[in-house]
């Protein structure tokens, strides 16, 4: 079979409504024959309607450019021969195909009836680890020249080049992988199976030779794994003590800038590691703290011949450490450095489960695509870690079915033991000099009876301002309807043919008998449990809605703390009655399940691999049911004095969002007993101090009870020269007027400032509701039609995607809450103006804040100065840190909350950031300052 002829297409249009009034303004068709680009046809079209300002800004195509262009129907005679017998290809093909069909219909032609391929869908499994499938992001990663994004000729040509690269990559895949991809591709939305079929037929003409990095095991093609062994250095490796020695070592790095603060940090870390005395070190933006702790850590690891653990809060920092700093160190060190990442078991794929899942014949679209992504990923990954792969939300549901979940060793899993990724990660960690992990898993391992980590003495905790919270989260319990439905669905009623059905069939097979009466009784109990749980969650909703109101500033989100007083409110007795019935039913069913498991245990060795896997799934489900039952009992019937319990949910979608949580009020005891007593710990972050003091962090983390050293390393950046703060004095105090009036004033100011700054503005809110109202007002005003407005939770996309889009457009404004206050790294002129709308105090009705305040009051302390203020200051410092990210950055920060100037505590915020010029100004003056400064 020869390859089909492909016509790779891109249209620029006046909008998204192909069925409405929107029209094509530019079209380009690139012809590919025999895997070669053989021609391109491009034309502007007169849409007979004005081009919107937004489209003009995006594409650069103006009314003037299309004024004398042909109408689409006039050019159709040139276009139709190109499409005849071809496969229609586009990036997001449904969009272009709909516009083509609409234009053909208007022109009186028959619709296009050939095959179509979507390069977005194709790219998702060809490059499963790409963090974005937007054309610009893909082509940028591939090094393809794309000089005029959003112009049809440039977009179509680069899409054609990308298609050829994807065909080439697919042709290099092993035949076993291609055959599985072809079977799954029939579930996709576009006709990709035709392409895979052509590649297979071409490959069949030659004898296959696998790459030396690839192996085929039990019908699955995988990348070979090797455990690298730790290099034991024969000679003593002296740490570079002097600045000259450090400079000589580091100067090998490209773009190396000698930073005294970084070298000071290296010496402080080295000294702490040698003396094993705890250290807290605040390293300001630009210190280069990752290398600052990694370099001395590597020398100490080599000296002790054991790994040093580095723990982070975010995946982003883990990836940065491994892909950037560790690689830099590997290049410049005079010896070999080995680093490994170790995470919780559920991060890793279970190859036996995945191989079994490929036998399923009834895949949904999401499951089929996820399987295709994993098939190609297995030829690349050495870790099997889900964080590498970009799965859709439906793909994540599939991952839950194939992730590692227990130590059960059935025949099926035994066969895959040598290929197991989790075991490989543990083996590699034993050989590593540096083991990178996350706070949650580190805490879990410290609490475990049999730890996973290899023996270690030193741990460096980066992003340490999150460590206490991560420990609390790890100790927390929760109950929600989605989890219950998921657990119930795994067992299922007998007719649903899930685990209950399968176990009963196994029981009948090996016991040679089946107690029909008992089976029906258990089925009735399961039906009863299903009914009771549905009723109970209705009661919970009624109780919750009766006793809550929408939280000020949080839109539809509501919270209700469960206290002694709350448990005396109307309908709480109904909540307890329902919980008792569910608890009793769960208890009965768990007893039955355990009995079945025990009876079947003696037949285990006779069972086939798939049957053993069913038994292991049954055992795992019993453990999950017991954990759920324990959470129910503790939260509803046995609350502890030292924990905070609360309900939360979204009034628009109660069933999907409602949850009851129980968290300890503090994790000091846990941190002291499991880590500070037993290990040497270095805490580091850019935000650990309040007004120059570590006191708040030291008390929250338990560090204050130990001898330790505290050091602040200020940022090397010249903030005084490159940054200034404006506090608008003509915006009303938020509490002195209705929210609508305040938001209107805020939107007017932000609109004016955005025009003065030409976009490039990040606006940080503490309230989603206020953010949405401000965003809507600014968007609807029509004054910012030339600007791209991006808002967290309103415009589509993850934090990373919104940030990338913000950087792509010249005139962009980014609105964010919560997670946008930290972890965003936008350098240079892309971000020139940072706006903080309100000082980031936790809402007074936040359940955790309430419980914390009560705890401090019991100790006779002022809860505001002991807890609320320091928390807000640390958050403010994180937000402030978004603006100046390099030594050449310049910017303005506007703080709309005048309490920073007028309140007694306001100076604490200002004294906790680098000294910069601060001035109050009215709107006209603010605009003038912004224009002159930027």
Q: Is 865 assigned to a binding site? A: no
Give, in order, the Cα–Cα distances in Å from 344 to each of 147, 402, 441, 618.
Answer: 43, 15, 6, 21
According to DSSP H, which parts of 172-320 are helical? 175-185, 192-203, 243-250, 260-275, 289-304, 315-320
Evaluated on CA atoms 561, 567, 572, 576, the torsion sign reads: positive
The DSSP-derived string for 883-901 is: T--STT--EEEEE--THHH
Q: Do residues 882 and 831 make contact, with C-beta atoms less than 8 angstroms apart? A: yes
Give, in order, the Cα–Cα distances in Å from 836 to each of 698, 878, 893, 919.
Answer: 27, 11, 8, 15
Q: Tell me if residue 278 falls in helix, strand or coil.
A: strand
Q: Is 621 assigned to a binding site? A: no
Q: Tell me if residue 221 falls in helix, strand or coil.
A: strand
Q: Tell me if residue 350 falls in helix, strand or coil.
A: coil
Strands (E), 570-642: none
d(CA 347, CA 339): 18
Q: Is 283 assigned to a binding site? A: yes
Q: Of 425, 434, 427, give the one whose Cα is nearest residue 302.
A: 434
Give the angle 297-299-303 at the CA atoms, nearest 5°. Answer: 115
Q: Tell me if residue 933 falls in helix, strand or coil.
A: helix
Edge-to-edge strands, sheet with 36-44 = 36-44, 24-33, 6-13, 87-90, 116-118
Give, in order, the Cα–Cα distances in Å from 669 to each of 221, 231, 447, 706.
Answer: 48, 38, 12, 13
Q: Is 759 assigned to a binding site? A: no
Rg (Cα) of the chain, in Å, rounded? 31
Q: Do residues 125 and 366 make contact, with C-beta atoms less than 8 angstroms apart? A: no
Q: Is 692 assigned to a binding site? A: no
d(CA 812, CA 790): 7
Q: Is 284 assigned to a binding site? A: yes
Q: Of 308, 279, 312, 314, give the one whose Cα is nearest residue 295.
A: 308
d(CA 534, CA 386): 33
For 103, the token pair is 């234009």
Q: Do residues 281 and 265 make contact, with C-beta atoms less than 8 angstroms apart? A: yes
Q: Is 17 assigned to a binding site? A: no
Give the angle 473-478-483 at the CA atoms, nearest 5°. Answer: 120
Interstrand relation of 761-764 and 339-341 (parallel, antiparallel or unpaired): unpaired
Q: Is 286 assigned to a binding site? A: yes
The DSSP-derived string for 660-683 is: EEEEES--HHHHIIIIITTSEEEE
d(CA 822, CA 879): 6
Q: Tell me if residue 763 falls in helix, strand or coil.
A: strand
Q: Tell me if residue 790 falls in helix, strand or coil.
A: strand
d(CA 520, CA 532): 18
Q: Do residues 58 and 38 make contact, with C-beta atoms less than 8 angstroms apart? A: no
What residue numbers does the annotated binding site for ATP cover?
Answer: 283-290
Q: Which residues are annotated as a binding site?
A: 283-290
């Amino acid at each position: 079979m020869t390859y089909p002829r492909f016509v790779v297409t891109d249209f620029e249009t006046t909008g998204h409504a192909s069925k409405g009034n929107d029209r094509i303004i530019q079209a380009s068709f690139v012809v590919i024959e025999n895997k070669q680009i053989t021609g391109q046809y491009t034309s502007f079209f007169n849409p007979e309607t004005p081009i919107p300002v937004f489209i003009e800004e995006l594409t650069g195509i103006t009314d003037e450019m299309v004024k004398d262009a042909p109408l689409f129907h006039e050019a159709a005679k040139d276009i139709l021969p190109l499409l005849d017998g071809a496969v229609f290809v586009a990036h997001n093909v449904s969009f272009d195909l709909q516009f083509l069909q609409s234009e053909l219909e208007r022109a009186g032609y028959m619709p296009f009836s050939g095959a179509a391929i979507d390069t977005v869908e194709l790219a998702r499994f060809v490059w499963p680890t790409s963090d974005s499938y937007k054309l610009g992001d893909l082509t940028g990663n591939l090094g393809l020249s794309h000089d005029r994004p959003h112009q049809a000729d440039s977009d179509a040509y680069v899409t054609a080049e990308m298609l050829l690269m994807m065909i080439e990559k697919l042709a290099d895949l092993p035949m076993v992988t291609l055959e599985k991809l072809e079977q799954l591709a029939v579930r996709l939305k576009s006709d990709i199976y035709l392409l895979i079929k052509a590649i297979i037929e071409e490959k069949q003409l030659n004898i296959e030779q696998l790459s030396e990095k690839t192996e085929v095991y039990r019908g699955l093609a995988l990348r070979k794994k090797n455990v690298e062994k730790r290099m034991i250095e024969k000679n003593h490796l002296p740490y570079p003590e002097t600045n000259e020695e450090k400079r000589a070592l580091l100067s090998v790095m490209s773009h190396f800038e000698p930073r005294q603060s970084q070298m000071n940090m290296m010496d402080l870390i080295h000294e702490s590691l040698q003396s094993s005395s705890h250290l807290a070190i605040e390293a300001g933006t630009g210190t280069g703290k990752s290398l600052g702790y990694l370099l001395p850590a590597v020398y100490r690891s080599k000296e002790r011949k054991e790994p040093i653990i580095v723990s982070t809060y975010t995946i982003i920092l883990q990836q940065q450490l491994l892909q950037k700093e560790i690689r830099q160190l590997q290049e410049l060190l005079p010896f070999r450095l080995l680093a490994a990442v170790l995470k919780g078991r559920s991060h890793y794929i279970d190859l036996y489960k995945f191989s079994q899942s490929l036998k399923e014949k009834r895949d949904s679209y999401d499951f089929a695509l996820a399987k295709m992504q994993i098939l190609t990923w297995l030829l690349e990954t050495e870790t099997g870690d889900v964080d590498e792969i970009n799965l859709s939300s439906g793909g994540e549901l599939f991952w839950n079915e194939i992730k590692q979940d227990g130590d059960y060793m059935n025949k099926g899993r035994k066969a895959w033991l040598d290929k197991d990724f989790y075991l490989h990660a543990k083996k590699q960690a034993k050989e590593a000099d540096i083991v990178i992990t996350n706070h949650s898993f580190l805490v879990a391992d410290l609490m475990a009876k049999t730890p996973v980590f290899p023996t270690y003495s030193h741990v460096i905790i980066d992003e340490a301002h999150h460590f206490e919270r991560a420990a609390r989260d790890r100790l927390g319990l929760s109950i929600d309807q989605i989890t219950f439905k998921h657990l119930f669905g795994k067992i299922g009623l007998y007719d649903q043919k899930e685990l209950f059905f399968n176990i009963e069939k196994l029981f009948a097979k090996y016991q040679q008998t089946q107690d029909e009466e008992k089976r029906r009784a258990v089925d009735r109990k399961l039906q009863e449990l299903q009914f009771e749980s549905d009723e109970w969650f209705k009661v919970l909703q009624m109780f919750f809605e009766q006793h809550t109101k929408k939280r000020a500033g949080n839109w539809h989100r509501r919270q209700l703390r469960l206290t002694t007083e709350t448990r005396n409110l109307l309908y709480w007795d109904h909540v307890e009655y329902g919980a008792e019935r569910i608890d009793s039913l769960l208890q009965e069913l768990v007893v039955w399940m355990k009995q079945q498991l025990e009876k079947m245990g003696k037949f285990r060795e006779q069972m086939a691999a798939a049957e053993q896997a069913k038994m292991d799934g049954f055992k795992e489900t019993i453990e999950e049911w017991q954990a759920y039952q324990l959470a129910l009992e503790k939260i509803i019937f046995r609350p502890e004095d030292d924990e905070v319990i609360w309900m939360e949910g979204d009034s628009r979608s109660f069933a999907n969002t409602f949850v009851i949580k129980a968290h300890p009020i503090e994790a000091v005891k846990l941190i002291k007993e499991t880590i500070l007593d037993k290990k040497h710990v270095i805490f580091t972050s850019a935000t650990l101090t309040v007004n120059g003091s570590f006191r708040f962090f030291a008390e929250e983390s338990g560090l204050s009870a130990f001898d330790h050293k505290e050091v602040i390393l200020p940022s090397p950046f010249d903030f005084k020269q490159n940054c200034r703060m404006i506090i608008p004095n003509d915006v009303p105090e938020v509490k002195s007027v209705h929210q609508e009036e305040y938001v209107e004033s805020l939107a007017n100011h932000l609109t004016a400032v955005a025009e003065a700054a030409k976009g490039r503005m990040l606006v940080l809110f503490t309230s989603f509701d206020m953010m949405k109202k401000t965003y809507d007002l600014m968007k609807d005003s029509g004054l910012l039609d030339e600007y791209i407005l991006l808002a967290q939770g309103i415009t589509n996309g993850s934090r990373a995607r919104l940030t990338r889009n913000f950087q792509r457009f010249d005139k962009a404004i980014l609105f964010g809450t919560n997670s946008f206050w930290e972890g965003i790294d936008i350098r240079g002129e892309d971000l020139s103006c940072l706006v903080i709308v309100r000082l980031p105090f936790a809402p007074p009705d936040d359940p955790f804040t309430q419980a914390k305040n009560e705890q401090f009051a019991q100790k006779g302390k002022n809860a505001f100065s002991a807890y609320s203020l320091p928390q807000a200051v640390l958050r403010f410092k994180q937000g402030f840190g978004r603006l100046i990210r390099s030594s050449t950055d310049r910017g303005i920060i506007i703080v709309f909350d005048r309490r920073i100037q007028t309140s007694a505590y306001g100076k604490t915020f200002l004294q906790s950031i680098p000294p910069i010029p601060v001035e109050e100004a009215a709107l006209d003056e603010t605009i003038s300052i912004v224009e002159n400064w930027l």
